[in-house]
Structures are given as structure tokens and as C-alpha cells.
Amino acid sequence: MRKGYLIIDIGTGNCRVGLATIDGKVHSIYTSDVKYQKDEMFPDAVSFDPQQIFDDIKRLILEVRKASPDIEIKAILSTSQREGIVIFNDNGQALIGLPNVDNRGREWEQQFTHVPNIYQKTGRWPTTVFSALKLVGLRQRQPEIWGKIAAFTSISDWIGYELTHELAYEASQAAETLLYDVEKNKWSNELCDLFGINMNWLPRVRKSGTILGLIKDEFKYFLNLSKNIPFIIGGADTQLAVKGAQPEVDDIVLVSGTTTPIIKIVNDYLIDNNARCWVSRNVNENEYIMETNAGVSGLNYQRLKKVFFPNKSYEEIEDEILALKNPKTIASFGTLVFDKNLPLTRGGFYMDAPAHHELTAADFVFGIIFDIASSIKYNFDVLDEVSPISKEYVFGCGGGFKGKVLPQMISDLINKKVIVKEGYSQASVLGGVIICNDTLGEINAVKDTVKIFEPKGSNNLLNLYEKWLGYRNEINHIYTPENV
């Protein structure tokens, strides 16, 4: 039998369970939607039922096992959305799950905005996406839950607990809590006091690639295994996707999914004096990642495809876009100006009036894709200002790089080669395989490059980018020295 790993990936929109062999090839993968419940005590709060998620994961595991019965599972690893948490009571029962899209702490965000030590210690400004502020919201409005808290951890480390009964918090995800001193690589008494969080709730921090423990007997029987296998600690989904691209220090990785983080791998903890980027722990020990983020990107394309091209494939849509001689729209649907920590609440299409007689659905989709590419360029340029980018290429991974239109736009706008490697569309699963191989002493295969996009020196796109930037700023009332 071929050796492989079971990789569990809990994202914002769905859970995935994949079965991959040690060479990084994904043989079967099944998904289910993550179901959220709206919490009416807050203007914008959602949660999930951990037991429901775990039941879905067990069902998906049976499906991948059935699809790939000839693969011997040597280990299990889990990864998840970076800022989500699961809360436990003193009986070790999972009470509630709070995902990254939960904003129950927003009403108290301003209390912490101007505290300088937060950015210095955590490498991020305080927003409700991070778990410390989610917990503040619980304390303020849901004392019946707050009073039962005995511990909390990341979503992927909760999976580890369910499978081994060992509780830990992986470092790259601990760094997403606002309670962790990223440079010192430990929980911060000062930050816990600031947010009113009991330090006894914080599990031991473990590094990615550590064997958390052997899976429990009941799960061994569930998987129909002859012996207990190890659960290997994974990490944050963005960091695992970056790992899957197999970059080196100083490389740039664009992770194109629901959002698009622009990541630089660095050796030192270097924060920006103007707080224009995040700095976090990488899953590689003694490495950090610097990040700007284009905000919601791929999700906009997915949703608007249903409006303009509900019955066409992405490949067919791209053919129509490539046939456009003079695209007639630009669009702005981003949700964040990252370097200013400024949420965007207005979006739309911009075109000449009256509407052109040759206007087509492809023009609108061009506008959406160009909006994603322009958001990436904007944030790439910010990162370049914070930490100059010397490499002549960037790596691309995630579903956004399946096509050819978006990667070519990005290459033209940032004037860099865009390199896409084998396994890019399941990059977080591939990153999990690499971590398991490293832990168990297996040799990692170097992934081949499957696509390279070279910049074509398109002045038309650069001119269009300036129009896009002006339109985005105008509709969101963003004033810069150039337009005041």
C-alpha cells in the first residue's frame, strides 16, 4: 500500500478532508459547508456548533477512505482559518466556536485602538477579527458562556484535542489572538491583563510539526486502523498554503482565495513604524511572515459569476474576457484598505455614460477580476515600501491561480514573474503533507513549476489601475495628498 496522510482543513466557508500520499499528490478530497448561527445580541456576530463540525469531518473522512482504500494513513494533521477559536468548559467539552468572520467584539474595538504596545508586541492592530476582542464581546453580553470558560484554542488544535485528548495552541495561530508576544514566542501577561483574559485559559504553545499524541482508540477503530497513528500539529491555513509553495526567505507568496494575503518570508521580527502591515509567526521555526491583505477578493468573483455567467465554466468566461478588445468597465468591491485599517463599505461598477452599445457580461467580469488584481498590486506596493522586494518573481497559490487572466494581470501590474507550482490549488493540503514528511523523516518531492506568467509591460493596464484607484477612493471618500 502507498503511504499517505489525512489532512483536515477547516476554512471560512467549508471543511475539507483530503487524503494525500507522501509525494504530495491529493488522491481524494471531500468538502462540506461550515454552518454558522447568527447571534442576535450583537450587530454582526456568528458562531458555529463544534459538534456539528466534528460530525461533518467524520463523515468526510469515511468518504475519502472509501474513495482511496489503498492508501495507508501514517498520520493526521489539521489546519484552519487563522483567527477562529473553540471554547471549552472545565469538563473538556467544546462549548462554542467563534470563526474569523465573527465580529462580536466590534463595539469595544475603539477602547484598544490607540494602545501602542499592542502592535509592538503582536504585529497587528486590534480588530474584532482577533480572538481577544471576540472574548471581550462574550464577557460584555454573554456572561452565561463567559462564566463557563476553562480554556480555548484554535480550530485546528481543537481537532487535535478531539482526536488525542491533548490540548495545545500552535504558535502561528497563537499569534492571531492579540494575547501573544510574537517576537518572544510566548503568551503575554501584559496583553492578557489589558483584555481581561485569564492566562490559565491559555494552553501550552507547541510548534508546527510536533506530534501532539497518538489518536484515541475510539478513533483508531472508526478509521479501521490496526494501530494508533500520530496526530501532527499543523498551523494556520495561510501559513500552510505558503509552505506548500516551497518558498525561501525573502520570497513573496500570493495566496488567492476568499481573501488574498500578500506574504513575505523573513528571518527577523520587523514591524512597521506606521503599522501598515502585520507580522506573524511562520510554521517554520525562527521564521516570520510580513503580510498585507487585499481583503475579500475571490469571494466577489464567485458570487458575481452566478449573476453574469450562471451556466458557464470559469474557462469559458476567461475565453470571453480574452476576446475583449477594449474592456468597458472597472469595478471596486474590496472590503478593506489594509495599510490604513480602513473598512470599505461601498462598491460598484464604473463606466462611461450612456452605456456602450457593445457592453457585455464579459465586460463586467473583467472589471471584477481587474479589481482583484488591482487590490493585490496596491497591497504589494505597500509591502514593498515597508520591506523592499528584491526578487524578480512571486509565487502564486490558491484557487485564484487556476485561470490565466488574473495571474497575467497581476504579473503586468507588479512587473514580476508569477510562478505557479504543481499542487497550487490545494496548497494548504500540500503544506500539511510537507510538515508530516518532515516530522516522520520522509523526503519531500520538489514540486515542478506548471505555469509562469511574464510581465508584458502593459501601459494600458497601469493606466487603468490609476483609474481604479481613483474610483475606489472616490466612492469610499478616501482622501490622499494627491486628491485633496
In this predicted structure, what is the pLDDT of residue 243? 96
Same domain for 230 and 274, yes or no, is: no
434 in a structural domain: no
What does the pLDDT average to over 435-448? 94
In this predicted structure, what is the pLDDT of residue 484? 44
Domain span at 38: 2-238
Give the Å distances, CA to CA, from 101 to 11, 36, 158, 344.
11, 10, 18, 16
**How far apart, in whole angstroms, are the C-alpha atoms of residue 293 and residue 238?**
11
For residue 452, is pLDDT > 90? yes
Q: Kindly report the CA angle at 263 between 258 and 267, in degrees rounded to 5?
A: 150
At 96, which helix (H) or strand (E)?
strand 94-98
Q: What are phi and psi of 359, to 5 degrees?
A: -65, 130
Asked if residues 81 and 238 have their Cβ atoms less than 8 Å apart, the reply is: no
Same domain for 225 and 250, yes or no, is: no
Work out whether the CA dihedral 183, 247, 124, 178 comes out positive or negative: negative
State the alpha helices, DSSP H only, in 5-115: 50-67
pLDDT band at 482 (very low <50, low <70, confident <90, very high): low
Asked if residues 26 and 20 have their Cβ atoms less than 8 Å apart, the reply is: yes
What does the pLDDT average to over 283-308? 90
Segment among 44-53, 156-165, 299-308, 425-434 with least mean pLDDT: 299-308
Asked if residues 126 and 132 have their Cβ atoms less than 8 Å apart, the reply is: yes
Question: For the domain that residue 215 is a member of, what is the CATH number?
Answer: 3.30.420.40
Same domain for 173 and 264, yes or no, is: no
Strand-by-strand arrangement of the 211-214 sheet: 26-33, 14-21, 2-10, 71-80, 230-236, 211-214
For residue 478, is pLDDT > 80? yes
Same domain for 251 and 206, yes or no, is: no
In this predicted structure, what is the pLDDT of residue 244? 94
Last residue of a domain, one of 217, 238, 259: 238
Give the percent of the chain with pLDDT over 70.
99
* Total structural domains within the chain: 2
Amino acid identity of residue 96, one-letter, is: I
**99-132: pLDDT as tens digits:** 999 999 999 999 998 888 999 999 999 999 999 9
407 in a structural domain: yes
Same domain for 162 and 76, yes or no, is: yes
**How far apart, in whole angstroms, are the C-alpha atoms of residue 219 and residue 226?**
11
Same domain for 169 and 255, yes or no, is: no
Q: Biggest alpha carbon distance in the chain?
A: 71
pLDDT band at 480 (very low <50, low <70, confident <90, very high): low
Same domain for 297 and 164, yes or no, is: no
Same domain for 206 and 257, yes or no, is: no
Give the count of beta carbons closer than 10 Å to the beta carbon of residue 275.
18
447 in a structural domain: no
Last residue of a domain, one of 180, 214, 238: 238
**339-349: pLDDT as tens digits:** 998 888 889 99
**How far apart, in whole angstroms, are the C-alpha atoms of residue 291 and residue 239?**
11
> Exposure string (b/e) for 125-161, b if CB count within 10 Å is 16 or more?
bbbbbbbbbbbbbbbebbeebeeebebbbbbbbbbbb
In this predicted structure, what is the pLDDT of residue 298? 81
435 in a structural domain: no
429 in a structural domain: no
What does the pLDDT average to over 248-273? 94
Same domain for 90 and 233, yes or no, is: yes
pLDDT band at 294 (very low <50, low <70, confident <90, very high): confident
What does the pLDDT average to over 437-452? 93
For 383, counting Cβ atoms within 10 Å of its Cβ (0-12 exposed, 13-18 middle, 19+ buried), the class is buried
**302-326: pLDDT as tens digits:** 889 999 999 999 999 999 999 998 9
**How far apart, in whole angstroms, are the C-alpha atoms of residue 288 and residue 268?**
7
* Residue 382 CA to its chain's centroid (Å): 19
Same domain for 102 and 135, yes or no, is: yes
**17-46: pLDDT as tens digits:** 999 999 999 999 999 999 999 999 999 999
In this predicted structure, what is the pLDDT of residue 481? 55
Same domain for 260 and 223, yes or no, is: no
Same domain for 154 and 257, yes or no, is: no
**386-415: pLDDT as tens digits:** 999 999 999 999 988 999 999 999 999 999
157 in a structural domain: yes
459 in a structural domain: yes
Last residue of a domain, one of 222, 238, 254: 238
436 in a structural domain: no
